[in-house]
Amino acid sequence: MKSIADLDDLQGKRVLVRSDLNVPLEGSTITDDGRIRASVPTIKALSEGGARVIVCAHLGRPKGSPEDKYSLAPVATRLGELLGRDVTFATDTVGESAQAAVESAADGDVVLLENLRFNPGETAKSADERAEFAGSLAGLADVFVSDGFGVVHREQASVFDVARLLPSAVGGLVETEVGVLRRLTTDPERPYAVVLGGAKVSDKLAVIDNLIQTADRLLIGGGMVFTFLKAQGHEVGKSLLESDQVDTVKGYLEQAQERGVEIVLPVDVVAATEFSADADHEVVGIDAIPSDRMGLDIGPESSALFAEKLADCRTVFWNGPMGAFEMAPYAAGTAAIAKALVDITADGALTVVGGGDSAAAVRQLGFTDDQFGHISTGGGASLEYLEGKDLPGLTVLDES
């Protein structure tokens, strides 16, 4: 895999950079600009090296045609502020506006193209359709730099197909992210714990399969924990539950026991009458979840238990909040994990936070990025890496 330094002199070259600028928006206000900040160093380095930098990215999930609410226009403004220079915003991706912006770009200029997913070719299942769109993107540039870590696990036109059409290299952000994941998978310092939570239960079950081979401890909270509690015979009331995964989870619990991997589950939860900050809620033991309530956070005893299980760890990967942290009554469990990680980071442990909501949670709770070893910009991509899968956006760069 080539890095930017391995490419020929980029002075005056048109460099297409795939970044991950998929930030949360409320109206046109960016509520967490972490991914834009993370993208700045690569864009800045290329611009300072005299390249004509053409940034492309997606935002949200538009269905292949333009939609105002998914416009990258607010991101162009914020990117310009963070770069300290004007960013020319093209109001289409590969059309007249994009072509004009690229043609008039001088050395060092930065252009941001409109949302890639306004074009059906970006995420098309048909390789031909994707290749056609990738061809239009490639036509704007001389060189491709892949720096959107949040999408490297996707076989999409701007990630995968375009890398086959232009001389390509990996950007600094993806290099950093992959470097951290390598440290997690290649002889991690022990004890090595993985903390999993969040809402996407089935997404995260797959990674457990692989982690049972490598981690010493698995701490589980969030919405996915109720499938585990159910597998252990507890009633979980109205909590999130994937009934069809209960048997799979039973298998994981058995495997973990055979391999001596410690699985740490909550001993209490915050049980609420509904998914709302105003709902009546109380702390109950996991064997006493009322049938008309849902668990929306791990309880205080569990927070203390989880913190204790992390205190002596030298390596921790954390993906997924412990509760519905967006609502204050259910944020304490997530805060406890963040605090435990901050403490061991100060003692020299490697701590990695993955997942968009997990990253947003630690920032919302008042922690800063530098209190952790690394805050990943790609939850899905880092999980797939830890599952041991090949990431198409990386393997394609090995070919080029």
Interface mask toward ligand ADP for 236-275; x: CB under 6 A: ----x-----------------------------------
CA–CA gap between residue 385 and residue 394 (Å, rounded): 11
Here the tokens at position 260 are 């001596």
Q: Of the two residues 2 and 339, which places its CB atom closer to ligand ADP in the complex?
A: 339
Q: Of the two residues 88 and 358, which places its CB atom closer to ligand ADP in the complex?
A: 358
Q: Is the dihedral of CA 96, 80, 66, 38 positive or negative?
A: positive
CA–CA gap between residue 19 and residue 172 (Å, rounded): 11
CA–CA gap between residue 314 and residue 309 (Å, rounded): 11
If contact means CB under 5 to 8 A according to the sort of partner, which of Mg ion, ligand ADP, none does residue 150 touch?
none
Site for Mg ion (CB under 5 A): which residue of 20, 122, 177, 357? Answer: 357
**Footprint of ligand ADP on 297-356 (CB under 6 A):** 319-321, 323-324, 326, 355-356
CA–CA gap between residue 393 and residue 144 (Å, rounded): 12
Q: Point out the catalytic residue in the list 200, 250, 363, 389.
A: 200
Site for ligand ADP (CB under 6 A): which residue of 62, 148, 222, 378? Answer: 222
Q: Point out the catalytic residue in the list 198, 223, 378, 380.
A: 380
CA–CA gap between residue 90 and residue 101 (Å, rounded): 6
Using the contact rule CB under 5 A, the part of the chain among 258-266, 275-283, 329-337, 350-358 near Mg ion is 350-358
Site for ligand ADP (CB under 6 A): which residue of 62, 223, 237, 392? Answer: 223
If contact means CB under 5 to 8 A according to the sort of partner, which of Mg ion, ligand ADP, none does residue 222 touch?
ligand ADP
Here the tokens at position 310 are 């992390």
The Cβ-side half-sphere exposure at 151, using a 13 Å CA radius, reads 27
Q: Are 302 and 333 in contact (CB under 8 A)?
A: yes
Is 106 buried (19+), middle (13-18) or exposed (0-12) by CB count in 10 A?
A: exposed
Q: Of the two residues 357 and 384, which places its CB atom closer to Mg ion in the complex?
A: 357
Kind of pairing between the strands at 143-146 and 110-112: unpaired
356 classed as catalytic: yes
Here the tokens at position 297 are 């956070």
Give me the least distance between CB of 73 and ligand ADP, in Å please: 25
Nearest to 359 by CA among 340, 382, 377: 377
Q: Side chain identity at 95, as an amino acid letter?
A: G
Site for Mg ion (CB under 5 A): which residue of 356, 373, 378, 393? Answer: 356
Number of residues located near ligand ADP, criterion CB under 6 A = 20
Q: Give Cα 93 distance to the centre of its chain.
A: 24
309 classed as catalytic: no
CA–CA gap between residue 284 and residue 52 (Å, rounded): 59
Using the contact rule CB under 5 A, the part of the chain among 13-21, 182-190, 236-244, 354-362 near Mg ion is 354-362
Contact between 223 and Mg ion by CB under 5 A: the answer reads no
Q: Of the two residues 146 and 377, which places its CB atom closer to ligand ADP in the complex?
A: 377
If contact means CB under 5 to 8 A according to the sort of partner, which of ligand ADP, Mg ion, none does residue 358 touch?
ligand ADP
CA–CA gap between residue 314 and residue 310 (Å, rounded): 9
Question: What are the catalytic residues?
Answer: 35, 200, 356, 380
- Contact footprint for Mg ion (CB under 5 A): 356-357
Q: Which residues bind ligand ADP (CB under 6 A)?
A: 197-200, 222-223, 240, 295-296, 319-321, 323-324, 326, 355-358, 379
